[in-house]
Amino acid sequence: MNKTGLVFQREYLTRVRKRSFLLVTIIIPLIIIGFYVAIIYVSISGNTTEQKIAVVDQEGLFAGQDLHQKEFTFQLFPVGQAEDIANNYDKQGFDGYLLVPLNTIEDPGLLQFHRKSEAGSGAQGDLNAILEAMISHRRMQAAHIDAVKIKELTPDIALAATIGNEARKSVSDVARGVGYIAGFLIYFILLIYGTTVMRGVMEEKTTRIAEVIISSVRPFQLMLGKILGIGAVGLTQFLIWGVLIYVLQLIIPVAFPQIGQSLHSMGAGNMLMSLLDQARSLNFALIIGCLIFYFVGGYLLYASLFAAVGSAVSDDAQEAQQMVMPITLMVVFSLVVMMKATADPNSSLAVFASIFPPTSPIVMMGRIPYGVPTIPLWQLLASMVLLVGGFLFTTWFCGKIYRTGILLYGKKVTFKEMIRWGMKKA
């Protein structure tokens, strides 16, 4: 086995045998699934506080209306008790007092509402919506407009476009969601494992282990072995997460059937089934293949840059943060462009950023779920070719920086010096 392979083997086995690797690999999928289960449970639980409102209605607005709407229960009192209710509604167990003066239907600004404490924006919004609907209904009656007829005549349009010559229905909503997930996944991978490479290089430099290793291994072989070893750890972790998340999403509907029942009772089950039907139209072979390609390509491109920074700085954490800031900003910029690309995959900015190597791993993954021909094949091929060229260049360029920086101590390095090291002929 060559020396790069030995470094790769050492980096990979050392990290996957750590107890922290197993803990993070197993716990993170559980946290992610638990987080989404909690979000779904809270969203569908409908756990709102019931509120009793005392109403003095001088306008007759509540006449014939349902006195229990959403979380509110309205109780009407005679107009002669208005002053007594206004002063004592809380002592009688009411959460609020609503006065509906004369001419409120013409001027809703006359409404008066009192309560002893804040109700929260959700409850206040619900009350506003209830009163708006009631006043609107009364105005339509006064204008002899049949609200039921208007509702019957209002079309419910859900335009389903067909794409290209395949007569395939548009799946833009699902494609946007999948693009978001894939783009964020690449974003986290680049930052987490790129930073791991930088810290590994810094640790070996500050402990002088690098000096011992370099006595028998060339600096470029050491850097390449370290990058590939940590990348293989990330790919292993990534594949384990994928398997665990797939298994957990099969177990959860069986373990928590009440979630599915609640979704069905709310009508959300039909929406979920519609999304699943759309998801089946996505080209998952293309998506998964590109995800692996852009994960590997993006990681190799950025890991070289992180390794170069790690070799050039000392054990000063603040200095390392300053040096790595331009790399981090480029990754964050890619994420911002990706969010726009998922909404408008063929905008000029999205096309450029999905081909430009430093931004293509994240931005292209935001476009890929839309599939071909929405994403022209030449753009995808150009993006891949340029990304391969990009990481070959950064590996070569950063390898020269690494060779000089890993043995340099006691000096604060500038970007100008690093570029000069990279441009220096061997």
Mean pLDDT of the chain: 80
Angle at Cα 309 formed by Cα 205 and Cα 300, nearest 5°? 105
200-234 tens-digit pLDDT: 888 877 777 777 777 777 777 888 888 888 888 88
* Domain count of the fold of the chain: 2
- Same domain flag for 180 and 260: yes
Are the C-beta atoms of residues 360 and 386 closer than 8 Å to each other?
yes
The answer as to whether 410 is a domain residue is yes
Residue where a domain stops, chosen among 120, 153, 186: 153
- Same domain flag for 204 and 328: yes
The answer as to whether 391 is a domain residue is yes
Burial environment of residue 244 by CB neighbours within 10 A (0 to 12, 13 to 18, 19 or more)? middle
- Same domain flag for 267 and 395: yes
Supply the CATH number for residue 59's domain.
Answer: 3.40.190.10
Are the C-beta atoms of residues 291 and 188 closer than 8 Å to each other?
no
Name the percent of the chain lying above pLDDT 70.
83
The answer as to whether 99 is a domain residue is yes
- Same domain flag for 31 and 65: no
Query: Which two three-digit tokens encode residue 64?
Result: 């014939």
Which residue in 196, 387, 365, 177 sits closest to 279, CA to CA?
A: 177
- Same domain flag for 178 and 63: no
- Same domain flag for 377 and 232: yes
The answer as to whether 44 is a domain residue is no
pLDDT at 47 > cutoff 60: no
72-102 tens-digit pLDDT: 888 888 888 888 888 888 888 888 888 888 8
pLDDT at 379 > cutoff 70: yes
**DSSP string covering 100-148:** E-TTTTT-GGG-EEEESS---HHHHHHHHHHHHHHHHHHHHHHTT--HH
Residue range of the domain that includes 59: 50-153
Distance between CA atoms of 409 and 373, rounded to whole angstroms? 53
Sign of CA pseudo-dihedral 133, 139, 142, 147: negative
pLDDT at 254 > cutoff 90: no
The answer as to whether 163 is a domain residue is no
Residue where a domain stops, chosen among 126, 153, 180: 153
- Same domain flag for 109 and 22: no
CA distances from 230 to 184, 196, 201, 226, 360 (A): 20, 8, 11, 6, 22
391-411 tens-digit pLDDT: 889 888 888 888 888 777 777
- Same domain flag for 200 and 232: yes
- Same domain flag for 176 and 290: yes
284-338 tens-digit pLDDT: 888 888 988 998 899 889 988 888 888 888 767 777 788 888 899 999 999 999 9
143-159 tens-digit pLDDT: 888 877 887 888 777 66
Distance between CA atoms of 99 and 77, rounded to whole angstroms? 10
- Same domain flag for 224 and 175: yes
pLDDT value for 382: 94
Are the C-beta atoms of residues 226 and 3 closer than 8 Å to each other?
no
- Same domain flag for 72 and 28: no
Q: Is the peptide bond before 101 cis (omega within 30 degrees of 0)?
A: no
Distance between CA atoms of 382 and 384, rounded to whole angstroms? 5
pLDDT value for 344: 85
Kindly report which listed range (43-57, 189-203, 230-244) carries the lowest average pLDDT score: 43-57
The answer as to whether 278 is a domain residue is no
pLDDT value for 395: 85
- Same domain flag for 93 and 195: no
